[in-house]
């Protein structure tokens, strides 16, 4: 009996705890219910408080200014727009748009919980996917701005609900298709059908509809004229999404797309494309640029840009029509692009963004690497020709015209543009050290999916850098080379190259402002020594633009012939660093109107000199920095007979620290040889 009483006493606390837990659960449930109801009432109240405008916001063109924020560079705006009824849009085209933007469109009430969850999963997996429905996108495009804020998102949500209550699904889809921006100044699907395919909407095929659907996400980036690979990748993704929904069963092939035809077809059109791309990368969409009356202050200088266009036209007048030219100038103090010429008109290739072998314009990077390692520009090296190096695997290296200089300083080697001394420096310090210096100064790690400054498929050492980097064997773009020379001009400080200074909305609000963090790529004293050497090059070649300047020419040989395929001039003053490239769309012999082979020291150097002179006309002359005379000036690598001369005792090679990642000796690429590197000693700079 006592045992039963004891058990009953012990059970009462447990019973009280369970009762208390049940009461807390009831209270918690009630509280959640009340809060949910309250939140629901708040949401309903907020939705009711947001007014649905009667008409969409009027489309406004945007204005691009030069860097003075006063002179107009261009006006960018929608010029091609007419509405069509939904019945004029084939069902497969509508389905392509929905597969791309809102697969649950006919199943939700303006917002999609499933879409939000799908986007969350995608974003967690490292892929970017939006959660806005077609209705929300229409609300944003028709009535709101493109700014990213909680207030704008809340209004978008409220307007979407009101739109769903006021219009049918087909009416909303019709309005959406007629107001979305598809790129190429095409506002609405009728304009897009003509801009991309030259047809009316009722004649669009399913494959063509997918192309248009792809541009909605990124009108510039997914335009096949701007990035064919990205456009086709997006096209394939949409086709697969449509198949998953059962909307598409037939096999599709990527259709032929019309060449982009825009109102501004001159050289500035390419600049506008670069500006549009940079804005999109920083959150200002192509649609906003073309429809919301933005004021965009670019980094372009009106005088420099005008000089670039004018001097290219002047120097190319009467020359063979298949010659291509690129000219890029940057401000060494900020990285802002002052002038950019990538071709005669937009919608074509931007030659300033195309990579070509850098030839001798790469030698200053070798010099910078040597200075960093404590080797002076006055150090002496064997400039004999030909010479054999382990990295050449039995193939001798020649100087242009077989010039001989068995005891030559690096400065003199640069002035004479000798190959063998700079190759010797690179073998001593390691090719990877030169590559790393190039990346530090402004050459990117990769171009697209292809690593820069390394052997590619079919080369002797895929994925590795060979000592041939010393003589410009690897390809770089004119724009990136301008950044490198801008870093030299800026005292070793590298700035990110950019086109846009600031963006302001039609209401005066600042939407974006460029903010670049300088990077110290090279010691100031070393940059001064590089400048001193390159100033001597400019003086020796007679290409000084009426003010102190530094620079280097370069010429890339065409195969094993006496012709050239690329000709360069890269140089700078303290205010402006610029690069000129002349070549062809497809590598081949480049000759002037007289049939003479074009080399860096003739047409490119003349163009660079004239451009620099005109771009800086009227501005104060700024002196170049004095040399710091860094490093050891002794004989590092001289010919045996030269080493016996007074002061000719070589510096022991073990006193120069090699690169820890120095690559093993490799063979030379067979298809593209640097000028002067083949057994036949010929002219180069």
Residues 6+ apart with CB under 8 A from 16: none
Strands 564-572 and 550-557: antiparallel
Q: Are 578 and 497 in contact (CB under 8 A)?
A: no
Establish whether 10 is a catalytic residue.
no
The C-alpha atoms of residue 461 and residue 668 are separated, in whole angstroms, by 9
**What pLDDT score was predicted for residue 391?**
85
C-alpha distance from residue 255 to each of 182, 232, 260, 681 (Å): 17, 10, 15, 50
Active-site residue identified among 62, 101, 384, 677: 101
**What pLDDT score was predicted for residue 682?**
37
pTM over 0.85: no
Task: HSE, CB side, 13 Å, CA atoms: give it for residue 541.
Answer: 33
Helix (H, G, I), strand (E, B) or coil at 136: helix
Residues 6+ apart with CB under 8 A from 583: 323, 324, 356, 565, 566, 567, 590
**What pLDDT score was predicted for residue 675?**
44
Total length of the chain: 685
Q: Are 542 and 309 in contact (CB under 8 A)?
A: no
Residues 6+ apart with CB under 8 A from 606: 315, 543
Task: HSE, CB side, 13 Å, CA atoms: give it for residue 294.
Answer: 29
Helix (H, G, I), strand (E, B) or coil at 212: helix
**What pLDDT score was predicted for residue 31?**
45
The C-alpha atoms of residue 261 and residue 272 are separated, in whole angstroms, by 14
Establish whether 49 is a catalytic residue.
no
405 burial class (0-12, 13-18, 19+ CB within 10 angstroms)? Answer: buried
Strands 550-557 and 519-520: unpaired
The C-alpha atoms of residue 307 and residue 490 are separated, in whole angstroms, by 22
| Residue carrying the six token digits 């506008």 | 272
Q: Are 447 and 432 in contact (CB under 8 A)?
A: no
Active-site residue identified among 360, 385, 663, 684: 360
Q: Are 319 and 87 in contact (CB under 8 A)?
A: no
Nearest partner of 290 among 155, 371, 207, 192, judged by Cα? 192
pLDDT < 70 stretches in the chain: 1-57, 78-80, 113-131, 144-153, 261-265, 346-348, 640-685
**What pLDDT score was predicted for residue 372?**
97
């Amino acid at each position: 009996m006592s045992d039963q009483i004891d058990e009953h006493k012990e059970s009462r606390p447990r019973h009280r705890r369970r009762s208390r837990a049940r009461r807390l659960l009831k209270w918690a449930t009630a509280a959640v219910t009340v809060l949910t109801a309250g939140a629901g009432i708040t949401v309903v109240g907020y939705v009711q408080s947001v007014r649905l405008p009667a008409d969409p916001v009027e489309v406004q063109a945007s204005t691009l200014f030069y860097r003075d924020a006063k002179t107009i560079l261009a006006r960018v705006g929608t010029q091609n727009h007419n509405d069509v009824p939904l019945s004029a849009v084939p069902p497969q085209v509508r389905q392509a748009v929905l597969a791309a933007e809102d697969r649950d469109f006919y199943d939700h009430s303006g917002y999609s919980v499933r879409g939000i969850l799908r986007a969350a999963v995608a974003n967690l997996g490292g892929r970017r996917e939006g959660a806005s429905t077609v209705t929300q996108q229409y609300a944003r495009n028709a009535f709101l701005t493109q700014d990213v804020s909680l207030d704008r998102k809340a209004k978008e949500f409220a307007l979407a609900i009101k739109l769903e209550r006021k219009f049918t699904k087909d009416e909303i889809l019709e309005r959406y298709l007629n107001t979305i921006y598809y790129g190429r100044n095409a506002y609405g699907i009728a304009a897009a059908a003509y801009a991309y395919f030259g047809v009316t909407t009722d004649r669009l095929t399913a494959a063509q509809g997918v192309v248009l659907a792809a541009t909605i996400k990124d009108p510039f980036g997914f335009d096949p004229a701007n990035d064919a690979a990205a456009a086709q990748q997006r096209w394939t993704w949409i086709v697969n999404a449509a198949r998953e929904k059962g909307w598409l069963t037939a096999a599709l092939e990527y259709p032929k797309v019309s060449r982009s035809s825009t109102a501004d077809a001159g050289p500035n059109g390419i600049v506008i494309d670069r500006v549009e791309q940079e804005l999109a990368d920083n959150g200002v969409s192509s649609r906003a640029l073309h429809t919301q009356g933005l004021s965009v202050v670019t980094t372009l200088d009106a005088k420099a840009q005008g000089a670039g266009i004018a001097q290219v036209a002047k120097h190319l007048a009467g020359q063979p029509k298949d010659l291509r030219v690129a000219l890029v100038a940057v401000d060494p103090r900020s990285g802002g692009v002052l002038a950019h010429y990538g071709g005669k008109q937009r919608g074509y290739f931007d030659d300033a963004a195309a990579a070509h072998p850098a030839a001798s314009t790469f030698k200053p990077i070798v010099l910078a690497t040597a200075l960093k390692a404590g080797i002076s520009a006055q150090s002496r090296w064997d400039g004999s020709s030909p010479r054999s190096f382990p990295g050449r695997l039995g193939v001798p290296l020649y100087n242009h015209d077989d010039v001989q200089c068995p005891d030559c300083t690096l400065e003199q080697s640069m002035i004479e543009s000798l190959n063998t001394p700079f190759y010797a420096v690179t073998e001593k310090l390691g090719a990877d050290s030169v590559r790393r210096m190039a990346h530090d100064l402004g050459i990117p790690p990769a171009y697209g999916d292809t690593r820069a400054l390394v052997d590619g498929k079919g080369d002797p050492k895929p994925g590795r850098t060979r000592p041939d980097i010393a003589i410009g064997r690897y390809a770089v773009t004119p724009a990136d080379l301008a950044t490198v020379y801008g870093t030299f001009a800026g005292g070793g400080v590298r700035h990110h190259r950019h086109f846009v200074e600031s963006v302001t909305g039609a209401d005066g609000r600042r939407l974006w402002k460029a903010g670049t963090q300088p990077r110290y790529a090279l010691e100031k004293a070393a940059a001064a020594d590089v400048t001193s050497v390159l100033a001597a090059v400019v003086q020796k070649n007679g290409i000084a633009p009426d003010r102190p300047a530094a620079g280097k020419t370069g010429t890339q040989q065409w195969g094993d012939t006496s012709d050239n395929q690329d000709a360069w001039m890269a140089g700078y003053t303290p205010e402006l660093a610029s690069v000129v490239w002349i070549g062809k769309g497809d590598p081949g012999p480049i000759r002037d109107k007289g049939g003479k082979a074009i080399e860096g020291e003739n047409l490119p150097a003349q163009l660079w000199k004239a451009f620099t002179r005109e771009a800086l006309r009227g501005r104060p002359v700024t002196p170049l920095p004095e040399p710091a005379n860094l490093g050891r000036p002794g004989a590092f690598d001289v010919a045996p007979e030269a080493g016996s001369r007074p002061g000719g005792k070589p510096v022991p090679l073990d006193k120069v620290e090699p690169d820890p990642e120095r690559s093993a000796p490799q063979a030379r690429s067979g298809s593209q040889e640097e000028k002067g590197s083949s057994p036949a000693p010929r002219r180069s700079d």
